[in-house]
Structure 1
Amino acid sequence: MGRLSFCVNKIILFRMKTDKISYFLGVAVTVVFVFLSMRFYTYQTLRNEEKDPKSIVGFLETLDLKMLDLKMQIRGVEPTSAPVALVAIDDPSLEEVGRWPWARKVIAQMTDQIFTDGAKSIGYDVIFSEPQIGDPTSDQMLAESLTKHRDKVVTGSFAEPAGDLWLPYQDYCVNEAFIRANGGDVVRLNASFVVEDRADFYESVDFGKLLNPFFEIYEGVQKPKIIKDELKISEDRLTDAQKRYVQIQLWKRNFEFCRDWLTEHDSFLPGHDANIDKAYAEAFNVKPEELKTAIAKFKNKVLRHPLPASWNWTANLPKIQEGVDFNSSFNAFQDTDGSVRRMPLFYRTGNRMGTSFVPTLSLQTYLTGMGYRAQVVVDRSSRNPKMKEIVGFDIFDPSQEPEKKVFSLSTDKYSFMRINYYGGTYSIPHVSAREILRQGPTIKVIQREWDQANNRWKVDQKEMDRKAFFKDRMVIIGATATGVYDLRVTPFEKNFPGPEIHVQALAQMFDQKFLVPWEMEGKVMPWVILVLGILLSILWTQTGAVAGIVVSMSAIVLIVGVDLLMFLKFHVMLSAVIPLFLLVFLNFTVLQTFKYLTEERKKKELKSTFAKYVSPAIVDEVLKAPENLELGGRKQRMTVFFSDVRGFTTLSESLEPQKLSEILSRYLSPMTEIVFKNKGTLDKYMGDALMAFFGAPIPYPQHAQEACRTALQHLVKLAELQEEFKKEGIPTIDIGIGINTGDMSVGNMGSNIVRSYTVMGDAVNLGSRLEGINKEYGTRVIISEFTYAEVKEKFVCREIDQVKVKGKTKPVRIFELVAEGNVSEDKKKRLDIFEEAYRKYEQKKFAEALIQFETLVQGETVDPVAEVYVERCQEFITNPPPENWDGVFVMTKK
């Protein structure tokens, strides 16, 4: 086996091994991502209270949300003609009217004026929870104004999220505690908003009748504690404010009681008192002996509501709230990263229709303005048997006969609607509150408009007829002034006015431009990721890093492109973050890192070994593209190089074996280095002979030139060695070199047991014959006509004969390689003489040729080739060749 074969086989085996490991590593990572994607899509269906933003899937969801923000930003401002507006209590209004909060009579004046101008409905993103200080009549004026427009105004309230403070069945207790705490001021019996709970199995139970006696007893126990421990005063000395404080604390204690209801901490737990047992038996309509089973069934059967409860509600003053038909919640809901991207369309305090559910401000303002009705259907969850979910959220027009369904609101299972923001601040018309109070015929409206000249959106202010502007418009009044601090983080801005979020959601309902998820994504995407991961694993194991990057970037562009297309054209939200992470993680973080760490280490080992047999440049190229070292042979045009030492037999007879080996090493080492320097590949050493080839394993077009350059440099090095050997008394050596260019089979060839990376074919055999022919002509380097054709522009050569080598019938012209570039004038003159003499020789003008050849063998410089032709001419003059003589010389030796 040739010296190169070891390295070739090692590279191929290593590549096969690393490819297999890389493939299985890629598949393993893909499987991990499949399970991760399943977790991710399940995580997306959880409520915020159940999510952990610090988990891996939590991190992925945050990235997914940021990508949603980016898609909105790429889309930019979305124009809308929805009849909505924000009346902003802004900084200019505060400068003109005074600091916030304003006198209630000012709000009353604004309300009357907006309705006079033709508005359909007004929603208030402000609350009137405390009496007006210093002007008792102001509250009354606002109450009268709201009562006058009671079916067109929507007041607002806010609460604190309770999360899962209570067990599912304890919602019934919470509901009664809320009612007892004047919850009717917050939750109004509202025909325009109906929640149908198909999974409420205890609708007929009168929990108020059951629990109110317990609340009264509990409050009686807690009241002295509050007065004594917190106020540290006797009850008869309480002020009105302190009495109100005590009452509020008692209401809060009732909610705490609900946390213990029907647990071991319940002070009124059935089974210990006959009167308590009787009350429960009557409420559940069972016999006393069946009570224990009934309560256990009740606790187990009640399902958790999809929407978390809210508590500690802050309501408007009773005198203000009582005259209004509709109340709402203007709570802002933040995602886990603090940004507002969605809103629940209603909030809840318990689970009873008419006493538990509060629509959001934008929804109720829309329903009030349009005269529509919303119907929410809650049923058992298809995903979790212990949960309920929203299965329908439809908008109806009661004015139609029969009642007509207008559209379905796009929400998730927990009533959350994605806010399809129209853009940043002023994407919806803003009217400063001071414009309303000025009562002129026109108002200034601020909104983003398209600037055709500069091809961009800009905030513009227009003077408009006030009645024309407000006619049939739905309005939300809210504070945007800097000092009010009602600013939120949104996809477009970090300081976005809270009231405009409600107005943009209101416009979205009117335009019905909802962001919708692809319902099948959670089922389909894991399979897509599996197929994508396996395909990419196969592809990346067969390509290099650059190709891997190109494929990765192409796949990323495709995924992002589809994601953007679905969002921009169809308002469909896809979660591209998982496949994108798969691509990046699988390619760059895992496979490329693995391939780099293993292949680079192995390449260093192979390079140190491989460099002994081929040039460093070839080593680098081979290691970049090992596929060039394919098993078997491939046909390729290249150049073969043979050299042999003349006088080696004499040398071996006169030297000891150890000395002979040393001399041979001194010769072969520099000659091999020259081969490497000129991009040659060492095929083998054959005793004192050297075989090399040029143009493989890495193809390059100048292989013939590199081979000729190598031969000439060998002669230079030989002269140096001859001088050294002469000084050391070592017999003189000479060399013969044969070079041929042609089509050859090159590759890792041989048996299943032993293979050699080598070249084969007639062109190789001819190169070997040319090396031996040097002896016939006294030359050192002979090249074939095929090599000459490729180097004649760069190298000086002379044609010396046409020969038929042994075993071949077709003659080939052979040339002596003389020099690279130019030669001396004397040398050129002698070459010209030889060429002219040789042409006469071919023309059978032997006498004329003889005269010229003889001039080349006289004097100090004797041309050995000319000597050959002197003998031939003399022979042909004496014995002329036959008429059909073609000038071809037939070799009888190899």
Structure 2
Amino acid sequence: MADLGETKSKLFKRLNSLTTKRFIRLMLSFSILLVFLLHSSGVLQVTLLDALERFSYDVKLNSTAPHTTDHRIVIVDLDEKSLQQHGQWPWNRGLVADMVSKLLEQHQVQSISFDMVFAEPDFSDGISVLEDVGQYLPQEVVQKWQRILDFDQQFAQVIKDQPVVLGYVFQQNSEDIINQLTEPSTLLSPSIQEKLDLISPKGFTANIASLEAASPISGFFDNPIVDEDGVYRRVPLVQTYQGGIYPSLALSTLIINQDAPKLRLDIQQEQDYAAIEGLYLGSNYIATGALTDVYVPYRGRQESYPYVSASDVLQSNEPIPILKNAIVLIGTTAPGLLDLRSTPLQKNYPGVEVHANLISGMLDGTTRHRPSYSLAIEFLTLMLIGLVIIFSPFINAPFKHLSLLSALALAHTLINLYLWNSQLVIHLVSPLALIFTLLAFQTSWGFFIEARAKRHLAKLFSQYIPKELVNRMAEAPESFELSGESREMTVLFTDIRGFTNISESLPPKELSKLMKEFLTPMTEIIHKHNGTIDKYMGDAIMAFWGAPLPDDQHRYNAIHAAEEMVEALKKINNKFATRNWPTLDIGIGINTGMMDVGNMGSEYRMAYTVLGDAVNLGSRLEGLTKSYGVSTIIGEDTFRNLDGILCREIDRVKVKGKDRPVSIFEPIGYQDLLSPDEIQFIDDFNEMLLKYRAQDWPGCLEIIQKLIKRSGPHPIFKVYLERIRTYQKQPPGLDWDGVFVHTSK
């Protein structure tokens, strides 16, 4: 009976343990579902999910954009050509009035919209001068010249009672009011306004009074709902200010081209709840989100609409055919005027084309929107998918479970694409992420106990080889053989200068502590920039980029790591000074090229390493840093196609063991951050190299002396001074190629 009782006790313990584990798994699964539900409802923000949703939207947009040209809308461009011929913007209003007059009368356009604001009077005219001298002139002369010189009034006369839309800007964070707005398109009652979640700016910058009064309608061109990554995906069609509804520039353009139909909001109300679902323009309807926002229906990349230079409009004496009956937007693509936007299709996209896409989309009914009820759809979708997965009868049958989840993912994706083609934007990523998160959790749950020892071993192993390699070895150890593969990579060597003397001056324990204090931060920097530590060789470090995981930025990552290592050494030396340890100085050599990478070694011991001529050259470059007195030297293959980092060519050399000469460079810094003096120094040094290779010794010496006077003595100047003196006595010959042969490592 005692044995039976003991057996029962063990059985109950196992059942209790099993029940407890299942309960914990169930609770953790519900916790995962809860996180997604809270994110969907807006209570919890998961940055990664938001970023993935934006990415999925961009992919769908790029995949379905028609990439056609809409000739109904023409952009009159204040381009570089126009600015060169008529002066920098802003032009005087007389010239703008002339352009508008030509567009309306000579080119017979349908309407004109300005993607700009005329917030200040035109001070380019001579009115102020006339006021000073007017007291000495007859009154009729003064009045005549006032009519001639008042360009603002001329501009106002040209646009009066014409289909011309002026632009203005609302301010979301400033209460500054510049000039006055025109009358709103419609008014909201205070009770309705309280219920709606409309965009309500605090201030604005409008056009001067004479122009605002002359224009039949205006529209704002600011976008207060740009996404967090700065990309223009959606824009509001209206904003509300002091109870008035004001349309955007695109919507105002549509209004004026449809004989100014009355603008009316489609507001759905239930007791204390109210939400906007769209806009009525006469008999036309535009579905929108709750903020009256729509997603910009980009047709394609830049120039999806015909462009005409503003200078061509001004100078043409004949009608330009493409302008006839066109909706004209006047804007700029000139980089100096800073009207470029980041869009899902292109980073630097003309802001005026954003309005063009909106107008085109509203004309065709292709604007997409995220309806007010989308949250309910997404919440219910997550709840349904989550409950199906959590209570799946196939949870312990991996193949059937995976098939079920795949079917759920496919069904959700197809439904989402159907809604997309129906002009509705519903989140795609969150339900897919929930499926894969629950799958990953439930699949890995049964392996926690079994994998504990493996994880512990991997943790220890990660101190010696990269974590990524440990994970890949653990997942598929049979895939790692002694043979490697060949790929383009970047290798870095760094060494402590004068380490022999340092090691002789310190006891072994102190030396060991010193090396740990040096190697730890240097290793952290290399890992931070995605580098793999190959090995420590006494006081030296060998690292590489591009394996085990591919890295298309391996050149940049290696150079960034080198730069940070040099900076970190200053802090290390400050710390060493407090311990009376010697100051360290390092040299860094970086080279890029084809290398053999993989597990190399014997049956008894293997090492994940790189081999090849490019690796050997990297080691030689590190050795040259002391000769030239620089901290970092990179090879010509690393320098090639390097964008944004300015480098100084140091020399063209043959290193020991290599027959082919190579150019070597010193990375100076980011080009945008260098001062004009630093850039001039590099230019002068390059000129010195040209004279040196042309055997113009006097010219070379003259530049070196100028550089020394400007920046002080440097070992590299000493190198060239000694060579020049030698070559002056013993000329290298006419066939000399400027290459210096180094005979030591």
TM-score (norm 2): 0.51
CA shift digits 1:779-827 (9 cap, x unpaired)? xxxxxxxxxxxxxxxxxxxxxxxxxxxxxxxxxxxxxxxxxxxxxxxxx
Query: What is the Cα deviation at residue 532 of structure 1?
Result: 2.5
Alignment partner of 2:428 out of 570, 576, 579: 576
Q: CA deviation at 1:324?
A: 1.8
Match in the other structure for 1:669:
none
Which amino acid in the other structure matches residue 396 of structure 2? Answer: Q
Aligned equivalent of 1:39: 38
Tell me, what secondary structure is at the counterpart of 1:564? helix
Q: CA deviation at 1:425?
A: 1.1
Equivalence map 1:182-197=2 (5 Å):
185-186=180-181, 188-189=182-183, 193-197=185-189
Counterpart secondary structure, 1:72: helix
SS of residue in 1 equivalent to 2:77: strand
Contact 2:155 2:211 in 1 (8 A): no
Residue in structure 2 matched with residue 349 of structure 1 by the alignment: 241
State yes or no: 1:373 paired with 2:261.
yes
**Aligned residue for 2:327?**
474
Once the 2 structures are TM-superposed, how far is the Cα of residue 141 of structure 1 from its aligned partner? 3.5
1:528 matched to 2:416? The reply is no
**Secondary structure of the equivalent of 1:423?**
coil
Q: Tell me, what secondary structure is at the counterpart of 1:541?
A: coil
CA separation of 1:582 and 1:90: change in aligned 2, threshold 3 A: same
Q: 1:149 is matched with which residue: 156, 159, 162? A: 159
CA contact (8 A) 1:199 1:388 kept: no
Distance in 2 (CA, whole Å) between partners of 1:393 and 1:144 is 36
Structure 1 residue 128 corresponds to structure 2 residue 118: yes
Partner secondary structure for residue 586 of structure 1: helix
1:621-654 Cα offsets, whole Å, 9 max, x none, are xxxxxxxxxxxxxxxxxxxxxxxxxxxxxxxxxx
Is contact 1:139-1:320 (8 Å) kept? no
Distance 1:98 1:531, change over 3 A: same
* Alignment partner of 1:486 is 2:339: yes
CA distance in 1, matches of 2:413, 2:15: 33
- Counterparts of 1:369-768 in structure 2, within 5 Å, are 369-377=257-265, 382=270, 385=272, 389-390=275-276, 392-396=278-282, 405=283, 407-441=284-318, 466-467=320-321, 469-517=322-370, 521-537=374-390, 538=392, 541-544=395-398, 552-553=405-406, 555-567=408-420, 569-588=421-440, 590-600=441-451
> Is the contact made by 1:132 and 1:139 (CA closer than 8 Å) also made in structure 2?
no
Q: Secondary structure at the match of 1:575?
A: coil
Q: 1:104 to 1:558 in 2, by over 3 A?
A: same
Contact 1:82 1:507 in 2 (8 A): no
Rg bigger for which structure? 1
- Residue 248 of structure 2 is matched in structure 1 by 360
Deviations 1:50-103 (A, max 9, x none): x9xxx5355533432222112101223443646212212122322333222222
1:306 to 193, 197, 213: 197
1:636-693, Cα deviation, whole Å (9 max, x unpaired): xxxxxxxxxxxxxxxxxxxxxxxxxxxxxxxxxxxxxxxxxxxxxxxxxxxxxxxxxx
Amino acid at match of 2:125: D
Which of 150, 160, 177 matches 1:140?
A: 150
Q: How many residues align?
A: 422
Deviations 1:401-426 (A, max 9, x none): xxxx1x21111222222212212211
Structure 1 pair 579–104 and aligned structure 2 pair: CA distance change class (3 A): same
Instruction: State the partner residue of 2:95.
Output: 106
Contact 1:146 1:153 in 2 (8 A): no
- The separation in 2 between residues aligned to 1:533 and 1:25, in whole angstroms, is 16
Deviation at 1:508, TM superposition (A): 1.1
Deviations 1:593-616 (A, max 9, x none): 322213546999xxxxxxxxxxxx
Contact 1:374 1:393 in 2 (8 A): no
Write the distance in 1 (CA, Å) between the matches of 2:381 and 2:170: 43
1:337–1:26 distance in 2 versus 1, CA, 3 Å: farther
SS, match of residue 390 in structure 1 = strand
Question: Match for residue 94 of structure 1?
Answer: 83
Unaligned runs of 5+ in 1: 1-9, 44-50, 166-177, 201-301, 397-404, 443-465, 605-894
* Structure 2: distance between partners of 1:392 and 1:573: 15
Which gives a bigger RCO, structure 1 or 2 (Cα 8 Å, sep 6+)?
1
Q: Indicate yes or no: 2:191 matched with 1:199.
A: yes
Residues 559-598 of structure 1, C-alpha deviations (whole Å, 9 max, x = no match): 334323432x32222212221111121112x222322213
Deviations 1:385-414 (A, max 9, x none): 4x7543552110xxxxxxxx1x21111222
Report the alpha carbon displacement of residue 142 of structure 1 after superposing the two structures with TM: 4.9
Find the aligned partners of 1:441 and 1:15 in 2 and give their Cα distance.
Answer: 92
Structure 1 CA distance for aligned equivalents of residues 100 and 454 of structure 2? 80
Contact 1:129 1:315 in 2 (8 A): yes
SS of residue paired to 2:168 = strand
Displacement of 1:364: 0.5
What is the deviation of 1:363?
0.5
> Which residue in the other structure is 2:510 paired with?
none
Contact 1:108–1:145, Cα closer than 8 Å, also in 2: yes
Distance 1:527 1:331, change over 3 A: closer
Looking at structure 2, the residues matched to 21 and 441 of structure 1 have their Cα atoms a distance apart, in angstroms, of 86
* Residue-by-residue CA offset, 1:110-140 (whole Å, 9 max, x unaligned): 2111112121211111122223333247883
Distance in structure 2 (CA, Å) of the matches to 1:22 and 1:101: 72
- Name the CA distance, whole Å, in 2 between partners of 1:550 and 1:121: 57
Residues 189 and 149 of structure 1, relative CA distance in 2, 3 Å threshold: same
C-alpha distance in structure 2 between counterparts of 1:421 and 1:388, whole Å: 30
1:531 shift after superposition? 3.5
Paired with 2:419 and 2:149, the residues of 1 have a C-alpha distance of 51
CA 1:66–1:24 in 2, change beyond 3 Å: closer, same or farther?
Answer: farther
TM-superposed deviation, 1:349 = 2.4
Q: How many Å apart are 1:350 and its aligned residue?
A: 1.1
Q: Does 1:328 align with 2:219?
A: yes
Q: Hey, what does 2:614 align to over in structure 1?
A: none
